[in-house]
Amino acid sequence: MRFCIVGLVGALGVLGICYELWAHAYLVSADPPAGASLEASPEKIVLVFSEEIDPNFSSFDLYDAQGQLLQRLSFVTQENRLRVVLTLPKLSNGAYTVAWKVLSSIDGHTTTGVLPLGIGVGSKGALSMEAKLDLLRILVRWGRLLALMTFAGTLVFVQLIAKERFSALRVLWGVAVLFSLSELALYANSVGELNAVWGTRVGMTLSAQIAMLFITGTVWARGGAWSWLGLALSLAAVAAGAWSSHSAAAKDTLALIFEIAHLVTVAIWAGGLLALGLLVREQATSWNGVLVRFSRLALLSVVVLVGSGVYLSFRHVGSLSALWSTDYGRFLLVKLALLTAILAMAALNFRQVRRDFRGEYGRRDLAPLHRRVWGEFFVVVLVLGAASALALSAPPRAGHSSSPAVLVGESDGLRITLIVSSVRVEPAHFAVQLQSRDGRSVTEHVQRVTLEFRHRDGLGAVSAFAEPTSAGDFALHGLYLSVAGQWEITVRVRLSDRAEDIITIFEVQAFR
Position 162 scores a pLDDT of 75
Burial of 106 (0-12, 13-18, 19+ CB in 10 A): middle
Q: Output the CATH code of domain 24-119.
A: 2.60.40.1220
Element (H or E) spanning 148, and its range?
Answer: helix 124-156
pLDDT category of residue 24 using cuts at 50, 70 and 90: low
400 vs 481: CA distance, rounded Å:
14
Q: What is the pLDDT of residue 491?
A: 94
pLDDT value at position 286?
A: 57
Is the pLDDT at 373 greater than 80? The verdict is no
CA 200/CA 416 separation, integer angstroms? 38
What value does the mean pLDDT take over residues 393-411?
A: 66
pLDDT digits (tens, 9 = 90+) for 473-486: 899 998 898 887 78
Least trusted range by pLDDT, from 221-225, 264-268, 499-503: 221-225
Q: Please say if the pLDDT value at position 437 is more than 60.
A: yes
DSSP per-residue codes, 163-179:
----THHHHHHHHHHHH
Nearest to 272, CA basis, from 299, 298, 296, 234 = 298
Q: Identify the pLDDT of residue 453.
A: 93
The residue with greater pLDDT, 365 or 188, is 188
Q: Which of 270-279, 351-360, 472-481 has the lowest mean pLDDT?
A: 351-360
In this predicted structure, what is the pLDDT of residue 197?
61
Rounded mean pLDDT, 418-422: 86
pLDDT at position 167 is: 73
d(CA 67, CA 425): 11
Higher pLDDT, 138 or 195: 138
Instruction: List, for residues 313-351, the tens digit of each pLDDT value.
Output: 777 776 666 666 666 777 788 888 887 877 777 777 666
Minimum mean pLDDT among 10-24, 95-109, 350-364: which range?
A: 10-24
Percentage helix, strand, coil for the chain under 3-state DSSP, each rounded to 5? 50, 25, 25
pLDDT at 159 over 70: yes
Instruction: Please say if the pLDDT value at position 194 is more than 80.
Output: no
Mean pLDDT rounded to a whole number for the chain = 78
Neighbours of 78 (CB within 10 A): 11
More reliable by pLDDT, 131 or 390: 390
Domain 405-510, what architecture?
Sandwich (2.60)
The torsion defined by the Cα of 387, 393, 397 and 399, in degrees rounded to 10, comes to -170
What is the average pLDDT across 415-440?
85
Higher pLDDT, 375 or 53: 53
Q: What percent of the chain has pLDDT over 90?
A: 9
What is the rounded CA–CA span in Å between residue 349 and residue 277?
13
**Range 143-172 average pLDDT:** 84
CA–CA–CA angle 169, 171, 173 (5° rounding): 70
pLDDT for res 225: 81
Q: What is the pLDDT of residue 504?
A: 92
pLDDT for 394 equals: 62
What local confidence, expressed as pLDDT, does residue 375 receive?
79
User: If pLDDT is split at 50, 70 and 90, which confidence band does 12 have?
Assistant: very low
Looking at residue 57, its pLDDT comes to 87
pLDDT of residue 304: 87
How confident is the model at residue 349, as a pLDDT?
A: 67
pTM of this prediction? 0.55
Return the percentage of the chain with pLDDT > 70, whole number: 78
Give yes or no for residue 29 having a pLDDT over 60.
yes
Instruction: Report pLDDT for 409.
Output: 87
Domain boundaries, the chain: 24-119, 124-391, 405-510
- Chain segment 36-91, per-residue pLDDT in tens: 888 888 989 999 988 888 888 888 998 888 777 888 899 998 888 889 999 998 88
What average pLDDT does the segment 370-387 reach? 81
User: Which tens digits make up the pLDDT trace of 210-241?
Assistant: 999 999 888 877 777 888 888 899 999 999 88
d(CA 453, CA 482): 10
d(CA 475, CA 433): 9
What is the identity of the amino acid at 392? L
